[in-house]
Structure 1
Amino acid sequence: MRIARFVPTGGDPAFGIVELAADEGEHPDTIAVITGDPVAAPVQYTGARHDLADVRLLSPVIPRSKVVGIGRNYAEHAAELGNEVPTDPLVFLKPNTSVIGHDEAIIRPSFCHELHYEGELAVVIGRICKDVPVERAQEVIFGFTVADDVTARDVQKGDGQWTRAKGSDTFCPLGPWMVTHLSVAEAQSLPITTRLDGQVVQRGNTREMVRPIPELISYISSFTTLLPGDVILTGTPAGVGPMEPGQRVEVEIDGIGTLSNTVAEA
């Protein structure tokens, strides 16, 4: 199931089930409106439908309290920036105010002169949990989505800690929707491709993670309670690099979808 959050023309934000046409061209992709927030409570179809092309997609999830990022979880990415893979997972936080949706603009702030893309798989938590055993990680996952862990690389180096570099407004694009039909095992073997103005700049696979999804959930929940709607960014493959105002960055994960955003100047 693909769950999106969207705004119809002249309407208010709502959630819906994305229905992709089996045959291209003959039938439009649609979105079936549902009641409530699917991460928080059971939902029902309202009977209303929209053509997907006629709505504006928003971030598919509004993190209740936090976005938890994992740094240097792909060995080749750690190496390309001259870093070692850390002994324990390297954890940082992005505030929920950094979250934007598909086709919204990433704003390069005036203090940043080196803005980087980082395509990633994101895990959406579906229930309150603490001290989750590795073997029970699947039970606390609601679904998966695509993320771009936007990073002000020069600020990251200068500040020494990552709050401004990774937590600034618009630095956490998520979308275009969440999928709930993937198991952890399936999510752990997905190709990731990032394109900048149509040119491939990152190509990896989630199987290359140093620490897999269940281990990350177990580690994070050992020190902080995870809430429904919290998001975990699982790390980025090698190939990160700069993006400039006016450029478009696309992150595609097979089996989920393609997240696309333009870059703009503050």
Structure 2
Amino acid sequence: MRVVTTKAGLGRIEDGAVALLDTAFPHLGAVLEQEGSLRCLASCAVRRRVPLDEATLLAPLERPRAVWGVGLNYVSKAARTGRGLPEQPILYLAASSAVPAPGARVVIPDAVAEPDYEGEIAVVVGSRLYRATESEVWPATAGITAANDMTARDVMRATAIPALAKSYPGFTPLGPSICTPDDLADRDAIRVRTRVNGALHQDDTSAGMIFPVTELLSRLSWFTALEPGDVVLTGTPAGTGQDRACFLADGDEIRVEVDGVLPLVTRIARPAGTPPRDHRLTEPVS
């Protein structure tokens, strides 16, 4: 089942159209908070159908409670950058306020000189995971979606704090649809591709992950409770702008394609005449 949040209500994607559902839930995050899964939407009556290209799609979860990410989680990315494989996941927590609506224009702040894209598979938690085994992860997963885990590379170098480099407004686009696990052809090899202005730069599957989905969420759940509607970004493969020394510019369009879900499109804007400012933090207080 593929589901969306639209301006007209929740819907299932069926035969190239959105089947708007007879439900009072305002967004998919509210469904997960109350139900712990999206399965109840499979039996909802259909109010009406609208062509997919006529539906106004909103952020599927509205604003997640928590967005977790992981650095260096693809063998291809480690090989491209010449880094060794990590023994433990490199985890961080980003601001949920960075999640915009699908298709939104992201304005690059003047403090950022090297904005980059990162096409990723995002896992949406359905029911609570705490001290979970790997076998408990997929049954507790509501679904997957596409993500563009944008990063200010210069800010990352200057601060060494992923949350600061990734939490600018609009820097974590998610959606626009969620695919439930039972609709995935192969949970162990979910494909992710990223195109910039139509050119393919990233193409890999989750089979290339250093820490697969089940292991990643299991490990994370031993340090924190993952709650319904939380999102875990699972890392990006080789082919980012960092790998090519080519960063995002005004007018660029990034398209992230993940198996089972609608493409996620992000458009970049950088106001003219605003050169990057010094983004360094002030000296810490001793």
Report the TM-score, using the length of structure 1 for normalisation: 0.89
**Quick check: 1:17–1:34 contact (8 Å CA) kept in 2?**
no
**Contact 1:72-1:236 within 8 A present in 2 as well:** yes
Tell me if 1:38 matches 2:43: no
- CA distance in 2 between counterparts of 1:34 and 1:157 reads 49
Amino acid at match of 2:31: P
Contact 1:138 1:184 (8 Å CA) reproduced: no
Unaligned runs of 5+ in 2: 242-246, 272-286
Distance in 2, matches of 1:164 and 1:109, equals 13
Which amino acid counterpart does residue 249 of structure 2 have in structure 1?
E
Distance in 1 separating the partners of 2:94 and 2:61: 14
Contact 1:131–1:222 (Cα < 8 Å) also in 2: yes
Q: Residue in 2 aligned with 1:59?
A: 59
Alignment match, 2:221: 221
Residue 67 of structure 1 aligns with an amino acid whose one-letter code is: V
Unaligned runs of 5+ in 1: 9-13, 22-28
Equivalent of residue 256 in structure 1, options 244, 254, 261: 261
The amino acid that maps onto 1:99 is V
Q: Is the 8 A contact 2:71 2:90 kept in 1?
A: yes
Instruction: Report the counterpart of residue 245 of structure 1 in structure 2.
Output: 250
Letter in 2 for 1:151: T
1:25 maps to: none
**Offset, 1:201:** 1.0
Q: What is the aligned counterpart of 1:18 among 13, 16, 23?
A: 13
State which structure, 1 or 2, has the greater radius of gyration over its C-alpha atoms: 2
Shift in alpha-carbon separation, 1:128–1:171, aligned structure 2, 3 A: same
Q: What's the secondary structure of 1:38's corresponding residue?
A: helix
Tell me the equivalent position of 2:145: 145
C-alpha separation between the residues in 1 aligned to 2:258 and 2:269? 24
Q: Number of aligned pairs?
A: 254
What's the CA shift for 1:69?
Answer: 0.3
Whether the aligned pair in 1 keeps the contact of 2:19 and 2:46 (CA below 8 Å) is no
**Higher strand proportion:** 1
Runs of 4 or more, structure 1, over 4 Å off, are: none
Q: How far apart are residue 238 of structure 1 and its match?
A: 0.2
1:103 counterpart SS class? coil
Aligned-partner SS, 1:187: coil
Structure 1 counterpart of 2:238, one-letter code: A
Aligned-residue offset at 1:182: 3.7
**Any idea what SS the aligned residue of 2:214 has?**
helix
Per the alignment, residue 277 of structure 2 pairs with none
2:154 counterpart of 1:154: yes
User: Would the aligned equivalents of 1:62 and 1:96 in 2 still touch at CA under 8 Å?
Assistant: no
Q: Which residue of 1 aligns with 2:189?
A: 189
Question: AA paired with 2:139?
Answer: E
* Residue 63 of structure 1: how far off its partner (Å): 4.7
Structure 2 letter corresponding to 1:262: R
Give the alignment's TM-score, normalised by structure 2: 0.83
The 1:211–1:183 alpha-carbon spacing in structure 2 relative to 1, beyond 3 Å, is farther
Q: CA deviation at 1:119?
A: 0.5
Moved more, 58-67 or 125-134: 58-67
Q: Is the Cα contact below 8 Å between 2:116 and 2:240 reproduced in 1? A: yes
Cα distance in 2 for residues equivalent to 1:168 and 1:85 = 28
Amino acid at match of 1:250: R
Q: Which amino acid aligns with 2:20?
A: A
Instruction: Identify if the C-alpha distance between structure 1 residues 265 and 200 changes in structure 2 by more than 3 Å, giving closer, same or farther.
Output: same
Q: Report the Cα distance in structure 2 between the residues aligned to 1:253 and 1:264, rounded to whole angstroms.
A: 24
Corresponding residue for residue 26 of structure 1: none
Q: Distance in 1 between matches of 2:223 and 2:92?
A: 13
CA RMSD of superposed structures (Å): 1.9
CA 1:207–1:185: 2 relative to 1, 3 Å: farther
Aligned to 1:179: 179
Cα distance in 2 for partners of 1:109, 1:182 equals 40
Distance 1:100 1:20, change over 3 A: farther
For 1:249, the aligned partner's letter is I
Q: Using a 3 Å threshold, how does the CA distance of structure 1 residues 227 and 50 change in structure 2: closer, same or farther?
A: same
